[in-house]
Structure 1
């Protein structure tokens, strides 16, 4: 069984502390260096939270929009999931923001506002003036399904939305899904699955398994490209998990980090800066997976 060495963990920490965001420095310290004070992560996250309660300021490193967006706010929730004692004040403000930017006609959320175009961003985050959305928004469940999951977890803060109706609508949408054009929508439904009561989560299982079988790439020779790998469907992929773990172990860089396998296709100078931020995010993500699977010595 291939494993990451302690020396590689040290190298990762050194690289992140020298090159990456203070947020990733705090996350790495909490997750891999025994710093058991989650407040450090919360304090760094607060720097990305706007007065309206939403998150922005390039928390999602593929767009530099300082304004709040539902997409960046889901990233904040993902990071809060890592810690044992998330901050209620931060969460309550974020929930209020999501309630305010809920789009009634869509019965959900768009990923980003049109102002995203005013700042450097990857091509897939471009807001189309004709469609009035990004290409990501073609898949309704991204980020709506994920948001519904967090609202179920933090429903004590909800004051205006009918969560029961929204949850039922989201489950019904998924039960009736016939095509799966976006793996990212599937990831959002997996996150929803993880936050629902067992009886409701069960209703999502069949389609998640079906989508996983259709979308997962089992050809390890393609894993250096942007394809959905078994570990991204971790609890639903029938095969490929161990090989995927081996792949992660063998592809960590000599500097102790993983680099993104995508580019923006525009704003090249800005992308080079954001790429370094992504190295911190991806490395913490991958090391977390390896830690859960006992692949760190």
Structure 2
């Protein structure tokens, strides 16, 4: 990793330079993934940072797909069961987007599946009651008849709008999201992530702009601004993982630069990044670290911080 400042020559003021992740530290991240991560994250790294093909990534995703068109099988590391659950669906759509596979037949199969699990209110539940039958993190809880939830409905709808989906599931889900967003006064972090994904991609741009401006302060209330805070914190770069989208408008340039510097410094000696939320069984620690390591590298590249 580079130093934050160049040493000035005599008589010339000290010039601040942008801290970057050096090539040797990118190589260390690759080695970390080979030693610790799932095949999925290794294929993501190869596609995103080594010019790899899309097909190996989509092939690595296939074993997580179920016959019903949904996704399970620990694609979401904290849901260890085989059965399809709503949140893994958003992970699958993100991976297909990374691979540029916007016409993959798996997307329509997934939307067909979402239609079968949508609640009467038009939203997808956070988690289905079948979660109780398999090992899962303790925070995955649901009533017997779960209502629709912005998490993950807003993320799923935003992702499908991003790729131009015309599936019949999407208009009703979009209406559910607008109704739920209009009713928001407080915006906890995970709801904020979902809402921002929706607002970034929903076609009604004027309504999205108005909703963002109304929710700007409640979203900011969920953000930890101190780049060196410890514990389960949600930092600016968790919301604004790229310079594009509404979330970037929440933070000034100096704050983003401070957090990018801290993100570079947070890479551990083994080449990976750690997570700041509870690990309830050992395998999830490895899997989440692989996921977050690729995500951190994507953010550093998006902001021009790879050397």
Residue number in structure 2 paired with 1:142? 151
Q: Deviations over 1:87-109 (max 9, x none)?
A: 521111111111121111x3211
Report the more deviating stretch, 17-26 or 202-211.
Answer: 202-211
Q: For the structure 1 residues 56 and 165, does the alpha-carbon distance in structure 2 shift closer, same or farther, using more than 3 Å as the test?
A: closer
- Does structure 1 residue 72 correspond to structure 2 residue 79? no
* 1:5 pairs with one of 1, 5, 22: 22
Cα shift at 1:81: 2.3
- Does structure 1 residue 173 correspond to structure 2 residue 177? no
* 2:140 pairs with one of 103, 114, 125: 125
The 5 Å alignment of 1:9-24 reads 9-24=26-41
- Does structure 1 residue 246 correspond to structure 2 residue 261? yes
Contact 2:58–2:99, Cα closer than 8 Å, also in 1: no
* TM-score, normalising length: structure 1: 0.87
Q: Deviations over 1:187-223 (max 9, x none)?
A: 001111222122343233213422232221112231x
> Higher relative contact order by CA 8 Å / sep ≥ 6: 1 or 2?
1
- Does structure 1 residue 280 correspond to structure 2 residue 266? no
Q: Deviations over 1:36-94 (max 9, x none)?
A: x1111111111100011101001011120210111110111122222223452111111
In structure 2, what is the Cα distance between the partners aligned to 1:155 and 1:249?
Answer: 35
The 5 Å alignment of 1:7-156 reads 7-35=24-52, 37-104=53-120, 106-128=121-143, 132-133=145-146, 140-153=149-162, 156=165
- Does structure 1 residue 193 correspond to structure 2 residue 199? yes
SS of equivalent residue, structure 1 residue 97: helix
Q: Deviations over 1:256-277 (max 9, x none)?
A: 101222224x5xxxx2111101
The alignment yields a C-alpha RMSD, in angstroms, of 2.1
Report the more deviating stretch, 224-233 or 66-75.
Answer: 224-233
* TM-score, normalising length: structure 2: 0.84
Contact 1:15–1:256, Cα closer than 8 Å, also in 2: yes
**Structure 1 portions without partners, runs of 5+:** none
Contact 1:193–1:201, Cα closer than 8 Å, also in 2: yes
SS of equivalent residue, structure 2 residue 299: helix
Q: When the two structures are aligned, how many residues end up with a matched partner?
A: 280
Residue number in structure 1 paired with 2:249? 236
Q: Deviations over 1:207-249 (max 9, x none)?
A: 3422232221112231x32112111221232232111111110
In structure 2, what is the Cα distance between the partners aligned to 1:155 and 1:99?
Answer: 18
Contact 2:94–2:159, Cα closer than 8 Å, also in 1: no
Cα shift at 1:168: 3.5
Residue number in structure 1 paired with 2:4? none
Cα shift at 1:156: 4.5
**Structure 2 portions without partners, runs of 5+:** 1-17, 241-247
In structure 2, what is the Cα distance between the partners aligned to 1:22 and 1:210?
Answer: 39
